[in-house]
Amino acid sequence: MKVPSYVFRLGLFAVLAVVIVLLFPRYNNSFRYHYEIGKPWGYSMITAEFDFPIYKTDEQMQEEQQKLLSTFTPYFRYLPRVQREVMVISLQDMEWMQEHGYSRIALLSGGVSKVYPLSNVYTPKTAYDKYRYEIVQNLVLDTAKTLTMRENLLATLSPTQGVVQKGEKIIDRGEIVTERTYQILQSLRRAYDNESLGQRQRTLSIMGEAILVVLFLALFIIYLYVFRLTYLRNTNTVLFFCLQMFLVIALACLALQFNLSVYLIPFAWVPILTRVFFDSRTALFLHFTTILIVSIVVPAPVEFFFIQIVVGMVAISSLGDMTRRAQLIRTAGWILLTQVIAYTAFSFAQTGAWNAINPWMYLYFFICALLIVGCYGLIYAFEKMFRFISSITLVELTDINSELLHTLAERAPGTFQHSMQVSNLATEAAKAIGANALLVRTGALYHDIGKIADPLYYTENQQGVENPLLKMDPRDAAQVVIAHVAEGEKIARRNHLPEVIINFITTHHGASLVRYFYNTYANAHPGEEVDASLFRYPGPKPSTKEGAILMMADAIEARSRSLTEFTEEAISKAVDQMIDSQIADGQFAETPLSFKDVEDIRRVFKTRLSSMNHHRISYPTLNK
């Protein structure tokens, strides 16, 4: 049984929610506070609910261990049946003693140990150098005794320093977390960790996280349903959104697991990648959703949310339509500056003190900016993975010096000029109705690429040569003309053009009639029922605003070449007739064009054609 596509797409969000909750670092359920040294305490006052010890930090323990071990004496014993007038140990044992800073040894003999300074002990070489005759090793390290005594000595070291009494205040809202307070809070967390927690408590904690994650994802889905339904209906697009969120959230959880700063993670990847392929509003909404989810588990969530929201807004505002690689570097620079200003200002607003600023944060921001520049590689990867197309790729495709367009200009110069004029018309129309002007411009340049195969069959390339199609049966001639669409698709795929550009090639005539040859055949065979399918393009019809604009611009530009006069009235009449006939033929039924869009497109075409075909004044000649 086939699963409906909408169920599959909603299932992707459900899977993402489950994976996110599983990725969240597991804190103790009874002590879910987030705090950092130098930051204000953002919760209500905490008092000790029970007596608990203050545990020493790892640094303190290491320092005290080193100090204690500096007095430790390793144990040696004599090897049996060797001379004992000089104490000689192996070079390896001597190096081990010096490496650990031991200055004495304890010699076991007859059940009694006696301590000697290390200066009285030799290696075979140093003994020979002093006494000038060979003396073999006679002492060996008693590993078992040494390890036992060492462990006994370390056992005397207490892991705690002081006790917090029940009812004692620990910290209150707004107070700065000092190193001492941090140590007490860590000790309290450890005390809670030592308590056995009920399964019900753990379940409720995970349930709360899951509800929040589902809530945030549901809000994003509602946004797509209300404002961007076409995105929600596309499985590739939904998968792209989910993969982005998973990537940055997984990196954030990984950083938290290894006690790294979450500010190393380039959260700006989400709005940048989304803006490159889609629109600004969706990019910002997806960024908000991602940041809200991460805020559930990060330390200092208010500060994190504040900084990252500002970062997302700056990323989208500074990027715009990304048509050059340098824009990404500029955006990374603006994001770095924004993070520095936002963090510094937030710290001052919360504490009013210079010492509350962590200078390492600025290094984290710089590393994050470098990772944002690396987003260019992700743009290319996602472009190939999901068959999207970025503005950078579109700009590269519009280069008329590219091999394919250069071939079109050489083999079919008339078609090339026609494509350029159609591109200009379509671009202006797209701008007027808010469609993707760069996309339709690129599609227009390649829409007639199939005419490369037989350029002389098309009037714009004949230049005085008799049209060979006029010698053919109108049905065969129509099939020759129709074939340029399929041929264009073959050429495009052979040259690895993106799918979205190929769609322009296959839809620029929709399912319309090759009207010239249809009328010619019908006039030559009065009374015969004409099989229209022999004269009709196979389609498909355009399904986007950009595809509809190109179809209109292509037909109108071709029609304008047949005009005998270029008055405003003649141009207006030609534009209206062509668009009205396409609408009546149902060619735009599958597009989201509104009546206002169509009227705006008409206006642009009329104005543009009038300016392209204006009359020039005649220059006077000199009287002789």
Q: Divide the 624 residues of the chain into consecutive groups of 10 and give the mean pLDDT of each group.
A: 74 95 73 74 77 88 88 91 87 90 88 90 92 89 92 90 88 83 86 59 80 96 93 93 96 89 94 91 96 89 91 89 77 94 88 77 94 87 86 87 92 93 94 92 95 89 81 90 94 92 94 90 88 90 94 92 82 92 92 93 92 60 64
> What is the per-residue pLDDT for 101?
84
213 and 356 part of one domain: yes
DSSP letter for each residue of 65-123:
HHHHHTT---EEEEPTT---SS-B--HHHHHHHHHTT--EEEEEETTEEEEEEGGG-B-
Q: Which helix (H) or strand (E) segment is 576 a member of?
A: helix 568-584
Please provide residue 588's backbone torsions phi and psi, each rounded to the nearest 5 degrees: -110, 15
351 and 500 part of one domain: no
pTM reported for the whole predicted model: 0.67
365 and 510 part of one domain: no
512 and 584 part of one domain: yes
Among 284, 271, 504, 230, residue whose Cα is nearest residue 378: 271
> What is the per-residue pLDDT for 29?
47
Q: Which two tokens stand for residue 266?
A: 């380039």
Residue 178 falls inside a structural domain = no
Residue 582 falls inside a structural domain = yes
Q: At residue 316, what is the residue type?
A: I
Rg of the chain (C-alpha set): 39
Among 294, 297, 240, 243, residue whose Cα is nearest residue 267: 294
> What is the per-residue pLDDT for 200?
59
Among 295, 287, 336, residue whose Cα is nearest residue 313: 287
Q: Which two tokens stand for residue 271?
A: 């709005």
Residue 129 sits in which domain range?
A: 62-155
Among 176, 246, 207, 164, residue whose Cα is nearest residue 29: 207
> What is the per-residue pLDDT for 257?
85
497 and 427 part of one domain: yes
Q: Which two tokens stand for residue 240?
A: 């792209």
CA distance 242 to 377: 19
413 and 512 part of one domain: yes
Residue 176 falls inside a structural domain = no
* Per-residue DSSP letter, 139: E
* Per-residue DSSP letter, 178: -
CB 299 within 8 A of CB 346: no
Report long-range pairs for 168-173 (Cβ below 8 Å, ≥24 apart). 168/47, 168/48, 169/45, 169/46, 169/47, 170/46, 170/47, 170/48, 171/41, 171/45, 171/46, 172/41, 172/44, 172/45, 172/46, 173/40, 173/41, 173/42, 173/43, 173/44, 173/45
Residue 181 falls inside a structural domain = no
Residue where one domain finishes, among candidates 155, 186, 221: 155
- Name the 3-class secondary structure at 325: coil
Residue 187 falls inside a structural domain = no
Q: 334 exposed, middle or buried (CB, 10 Å; 0-12, 13-18, 19+)?
A: middle
CA distance 444 to 430: 12
372 and 429 part of one domain: no
> What is the per-residue pLDDT for 194?
65
In 10 A of CB 387, how many CB atoms?
A: 11
What does each C-alpha distance from 274 to 187, 285, 587 come to in angstroms? 44, 10, 31
CA distance 586 to 548: 11
> What is the per-residue pLDDT for 32?
65
468 and 565 part of one domain: yes
* Per-residue DSSP letter, 269: H
- Name the 3-class secondary structure at 227: helix
Residue where one domain finishes, among candidates 354, 386, 418: 386
Residue 57 falls inside a structural domain = no
CA distance 213 to 219: 10
CA distance 488 to 450: 3
Residue 32 falls inside a structural domain = no
Residue where one domain finishes, among candidates 386, 412, 427: 386
CA distance 117 to 547: 92
CB 551 within 8 A of CB 507: yes
243 and 301 part of one domain: yes
Q: At residue 224, what is the residue type?
A: L
CB 331 within 8 A of CB 272: yes
297 and 380 part of one domain: yes
Q: What region does 60 belong to: left with phi over 0, alpha with psi -120 to 50, or beta?
A: alpha
CA distance 141 to 144: 9
146 and 245 part of one domain: no
Q: What region does 307 belong to: left with phi over 0, alpha with psi -120 to 50, or beta?
A: alpha
CA distance 298 to 142: 50
> What is the per-residue pLDDT for 621?
63
CATH number, residue 504:
1.10.3210
Q: What region does 101 belong to: left with phi over 0, alpha with psi -120 to 50, or beta?
A: left
Residue 568 falls inside a structural domain = yes
C-alpha dihedral (577, 582, 585, 590), degrees to nearest 10 = -150
CA distance 8 to 320: 32
- Name the 3-class secondary structure at 132: coil
Please provide residue 269's backbone torsions phi and psi, each rounded to the nearest 5 degrees: -55, -40
Question: Domain count of the chain?
Answer: 3
Among 157, 158, 159, 161, residue whose Cα is nearest residue 180: 161
> What is the per-residue pLDDT for 525?
87
CA distance 600 to 450: 30
367 and 474 part of one domain: no
Residues facing residue 78 across a β-bridge: 139
Q: At residue 328, what is the residue type?
A: L
